[in-house]
Amino acid sequence: MPRTTISVDHVARVEGHGNVHVVIEDGVVKDVKMEIVEPARMFESMVKGRSYKEASYISSRICGICSASHVITDLKAVEQAFGIEVSQRTSMVRELLVYGSYLQNHAAHLFVFATPDFINEASIFPLAKSNPDLFAKALELKGLGNRLCTAVGGRSIHPITAVAGGFTHEIGAAEYLAFADEMEAMVPFAQDVVDLFAGFRICDFQTQGDMLALVQPDYYPVQSSDTLRFFGDGVEEFATADAFDHISEYQVDHSGAFFAKRASNGKPYMTAALARINASWDHLGKTAKIASAKAGLRPPALNPMLNNVAQAVELVDALERCARICRELAKGEGSCTPAPVRPKAGVGVGVTEAPRGVVVHKLEFDDRGCVVKASITTPTAQNLANLECDIRLLAGMLAESGTSERIIRAEVEKLIRAYDPCISCSVH
């Protein structure tokens, strides 16, 4: 093949504005650029001088779909800086909120964004006619996530009730129990979703980058852990408070988002559902683990295209876990009433697993509780360098075997969407 340039301006069915350019010469990939052209909103500079009361409200607006994660991450940073301990109940309600956003995100990503790739359609809307049952059930699952976020956070995105130290409002036992029933009833469909995605044909290749995820003994953590783990080329565990010592961000001209690499070895890495499943496979619930194994997804799983299946497995796990948390909360033990906040000068680092991977907010406060400095990195910003490497690998492999330009382009787009990039988050 002579020189070919594959360019997709404004990759569709992802959150935000990104372009991809791949240059192939004589079957060899010469250049790959994932251009991140999302408008920069300067959140880190915007929260400077703002009170801790406003910080999480503002940073929620980094991203609509990841808003629950940004809020909880920011609140954890505030609480660490001021030395606030939250109750067990608050932690459980937070977990429910984060998982609500997993249901929303994974269902939206898998069906609205990814599925059209595998059924040769431009969007999900034709599925309403061709497979109305699947379409209705997919919307129902996404709707369950929305309703959970609305019940816990006050609306489906940009939660209202989550504040430093607790929640300003909580639903009653009957509502928790009703959700538990609904979650359990939805599990069989989520199992079908795992099978559906396991059945889609994907290119066989492995990422060469490392992976990053939160880890916790005997638990599959999304917001409850203070330990991060890099793995792949050597295991490296560290406290979330030191996250920015281990993650090295750098600026490139073709992206409004900062790229990132693992500081200790300079390698790009992936953080996503796939990284979580590789890191915490042992702590998946039984149903999710069986579904995953049946789908052929078990560690080490290094094909980034499997992130779709990993998200589907997490749907099964999230539903069962949420049902359990709801039943526990319905017992009415403990309180979520916000703990008293006494601002003081200091630094706090919040880290959670957003649906798309590890998100870090580091906030430095003055003695009045106003932000002096903020540093934020999102899953997609961290993934971009690895995504470029994976596109190079995939396009190279396909070009070498003489695949047509049209198919290379389609596979590259599929890969980008499998990463579930959240571009508006990444630029922030």
Partner 1 sequence: MRSYECNRAANSSEVECLPTPRVVVIGLASCFGCQLQITNMEQHLMDVVGQFELVYWQLASSEPMPQEYDVAVIEGAVTTLESMETVRQLRQKAKTIITIGACANTAGIPGIAAAGFNGHSSEVYSQGVPNACGQVIAPRSVGSVIQVDYQVPCCPIDFYDFSAVLSRALYGSNRTVPNRTMCGDCKRNETQCFFEKGELCLGLVTKGGCGARCPKLGRPCFGCAGLSKDANLDAARDSVARYGIEVAEFESRLQLFNQTNEALCEGAKGEYHA
Closest to partner 1 by CB, 1 vs 178, is 178
Please report how the helices 379-400 and 405-418 are oriented relative to each other, as an axis angle in degrees rounded to 10.
Answer: 160
Give the residue with the Cβ less far from partner 1, 276 or 428: 428
Q: Minimum CB separation from partner 1 for residue 49, in Å?
A: 8
The H or E element that residue 25 is part of is strand 18-25
Q: How far is the CB of 262 from partner 1 (least distance, A)?
A: 21
Q: Which is nearer to partner 1, 13 or 298 (CB)?
A: 13
Q: Interface residues with partner 1 (CB under 8 A)?
A: 10, 12-13, 15-17, 35-42, 44-46, 48, 50-51, 54, 57-58, 61-65, 67, 104, 108, 112, 116, 122-125, 128, 139-140, 142-143, 146, 154-158, 160-161, 163, 168-169, 251-256, 424, 427
Smallest gap from Cβ 134 to partner 1, in A, equals: 14
Bridge-based pairing of strands 162-163 and 371-377 is: unpaired
User: In the complex with partner 1, which residue's Cβ is closer, 57 or 99?
Assistant: 57
Cis (ω within 30 of 0) for the bond into 217?
A: no
DSSP 109-121: IIIIIIHHHHTT-
Looking at beta carbons only, is 22 or 157 nearer to partner 1? 157
Phi then psi dihedrals of residue 44, to 5 deg:
-60, -35
Q: How far is CA 84 from CA 87, 152, 165, 405, in A?
A: 10, 21, 7, 56
Shortest CB 298 distance to partner 1, Å: 33
CB of 156 to partner 1, least distance (A): 5
Q: Is residue 186 classed as helix, strand or coil in its secondary structure? A: helix
By beta-carbon proximity to partner 1, the closer residue of 229 and 428 is: 428
The answer to whether 97 and 68 are in contact (CB under 8 A) is yes
- Report the nearest approach of partner 1 to the CB of residue 400 (Å): 27
- Closer to partner 1 at the Cβ: 225 or 378? 378
For 268, the enclosing helix (H) or strand (E) is none
CB of 265 to partner 1, least distance (A): 24
162-163 vs 247-250, strand pairing mode: unpaired
Helix (H), strand (E) at residue 200: none
Token couple for 343: 């601002």
CB 122 → partner 1: shortest distance, Å?
Answer: 5
Identity of the residue, 163 or 215, whose beta carbon is nearer to partner 1 in the bound complex: 163
Contact call for residues 214 and 222 (beta carbons, < 8 A): yes
- Distance in Å, CB of 393 to partner 1, minimum: 23
Retrieve residue 59's tokens: 């940073």
* C-alpha neighbours within 13 Å on the C-beta side of residue 266: 0
CA distance 105 to 115: 14
Closer by beta carbon to partner 1, 280 or else 377:
377
Helix (H) or strand (E) holding 363: strand 357-365
Residues 386 and 359: their CA atoms lie apart, in Å, by 16
CB 101 within 8 A of CB 149: yes
Tokens of 242: 């030191």
Least gap, CB of 175 to partner 1 (angstroms): 14
Three-state DSSP at 228 gives strand
Query: Is the Cβ–Cβ distance between 354 and 60 less than 8 Å?
Result: no
260 near 380, Cβ under 8 Å?
A: no
Nearest CB to partner 1, comparing residues 41 and 298: 41
